[in-house]
Structure formats: structure tokens, C-alpha cells
Chain A
């Protein structure tokens, strides 16, 4: 069960945000998962209940949103939900798909409780990668070659080209 280490990483990230924004407490943490995220919801919730105590996330509500596995076809552009892990286009049967969501374990947002003092500006501007919101799965690169692009094979392909 690797959920413990993932939740520990999640709590560290939330604690850092709370520090940067000088929050008094964390009210809510929203995460997103799907069928190919590689995590089990009950194990996430269990790990959170165990690990949040003694951190700034103590008492925070964890909201786990489950999203379907969705893909876009690189050949015909159809968008659809992948069911029973059959990775072929529902319209044209192409195997060249790009997964849009349902394969990440994502921290969506955090609701912080702050003191009512003017924000000093320290850390209030999100860092570059927080703003750009890049994510797992290489969504940036699209479908421009003959390879089913996902994860490491995709990056591999990028380097070769």
C-alpha cells in the first residue's frame, strides 16, 4: 500500500501552501482520482485520517472526487470515456489515444483559513508550476506521431524526435 507515502507527500504540499499564505488552519483539501490513478479511495482516506493529526491539516476535510477515465482520439478527435480499460477509440477504433483525466492523483485546491490581516505578499504569488498547472501524462504534447503516447514512452519518443 503506497497510499501512505502519497498522502504524506500531499500533506507536505498543503503544509507548504499554508505556510506561504500564513494560514491559521486548513479547512478543506480537494483531490481528484480516477480508475487509473493507482490509488484506492478507502486507503487514501485511512492514511489521511492517520497522518493529518499533528500537522496543520488536522481537522481539515478531505474531499475525494472520483472522475471517469477520459480520452481523446488522436485520429478522429472523438472524446469519450474509456470503459473496462479498453484503449481504443469508440468511434474509429484507433489505438492512438491521449488520456485526458482519470489517471492522475491530483491536488485540486486547498481552502485555507487566514487571519484578517493585509496580505504581506510573501509567497502569495503562486510559483510558476502552480500557475501553469502541468500534470501527469504529458498532456501538453498531443498526438503528433504514430506512438500511443503516455507516460515514459511518450517522453522517450519526444527525445528521439
Chain B
């Protein structure tokens, strides 16, 4: 018997990262912006996606893959608004690429989604600020939601998540008058970890900030497909009442 040392020097997730990178460039080639939406449980991911679908009202071709430990409740909320498939993780605390790939197949076979023509694919991750941070889901944009009731000190407490997120969306801003939460303090804490993070504020409930959020997504998609910025003038396409973008009461 003798021993032999094999050098590897590679991330344990390298194979999944490679698959994610491949998928990311496939989507980029099709002009689909993939958005990974992460937050703690209940920060408002599904509500924001509902508000997004309402605001676009069919003008943008979007689909959602939503991760959940056990139920299809979020998918049921989104189903009247856009094509959606549930990814049931069976207890796992985060989504991984193989599950996403199966979900994509089902979007095509069950929902009749034409992936070639899709403009936005949202992946609602499992509510968790820890594990999803480590898993690349082929996204072009990672968005972390932080709701006003969670406290403005959270970015520094979950460094990996806030380091890897391209945008921070403060949600439930209708509650700001009632809770001790400073949007500026949260933004500053996030920028310490990720200096170029984009910060947005929304209330899916009242619709406040939803148009700006949707405009940001469209801007990011234009960067992806390399198209020139469109002139203003989409104003008239928008619903006249901003509350239309909000949640059902």
C-alpha cells in the first residue's frame, strides 16, 4: 500500500456553477433576463411578483418559478397573473440548478411557455437569507428583499447574501411610519458590503415604487440584450391608477 495525493483546488459547487453559467448564457442569447428573488420568509417576494405582473399587465412576457418547502400556495397566487410553476424542494432550504431545470421543462410542457420569446424569468427562492446565497441559479440579477418590519441592521448580519445581491429592495414601505426602520441606514449597511448595490423601495400593497422597480428590470434587460434605451413615451401604456399594481384587498 502507498499513498497518493490528488490536487483538485476547485469549489465543491464548480460543476453546478458551470451548468448555471451555461444556462445563463443560453437565456442571455434569447433575451431573457433571469432574476433570482431572495429574502427571509414573508418579506413579500410573491407579493412583489404579483404587483409586477399586474403593472405590466401582459405587456411584458414573464414567467415565474417559485420554490417552496411543501406547498403550492405561492404558485396559486401567481397563476391568474402569469405562467408559473412550483418547485417543491421537499424540505430543502434553497433551490439548486437541477430543480430549476426541471421547472423550466414544466413551464414549457404544462404552461405552454415559449422560452425563446420570454423576456423575464423570475425565480422566487425559498425564504431564507443564508443558504440561497451560495447557490447560483443562472440568474443575471440577484435581488434581495428586506421588509420594513425586519430591521435596518440586517445586511451586515447576512453578509454573503447582501454581498452577492445586485439590488436591495426595501419592501412594505407603507409600514415605515409604524416601525423603527431607516431606509438610509439599511442602504448604507448594504453598501458597506456591496458598494455598487442598487437600492429601491416598494410597497406591493399600495403600489408605491412598483413602476420604478419595473423600470429598473426593463433597464437591466436592455443592458443584457444590448439594446439602446427606449425613449420615454411608455407612460401611456401604464395603468392610470397606481393602486392597480397593488395587492387585492
Contact = CB atoms under 8 A, between A and B. Distances in A.
Given A24-B1, A136-B17, A85 B159 contact: yes
Contact of B192 (A5, A6, A85): A85
Interface residues of A, number: 54
Nearest to A153: B166
A104 interface: yes
B12 A155 contact: no
A106 B131 contact: no
Interface string B122-139: 000000001101111001
A17 interface: yes
Interface of B: 1-18, 21, 24-25, 28, 92-94, 96, 130-131, 133-136, 139-142, 156, 159-160, 163-164, 166, 192-196, 223-224, 226
A6 B139 contact: no
Contacts, number: 155
Interface of A: 1-2, 5-6, 9-10, 13, 17, 21, 23-24, 27, 31, 35-39, 85-88, 95, 103-116, 126, 129-130, 133-136, 147-148, 150-153, 155-156, 159-160
A134 B3 contact: no
B22 to A, nearest CB: 11
Contacts of A136: 11, 13-14, 17
Contacts of A148: 194-196
A152 B194 CA distance: 13
Contact of A160 (B12, B136, B164, B226): B226
Contacts of A31: 12
A111 to B, nearest CB: 5
A38 B133 contact: yes
Contacts of B2: 113-114, 116
Contacts of B96: 5
Contact of B1 (A9, A39, A105, A116): A116
B3 A111 contact: yes
A105 B196 contact: no
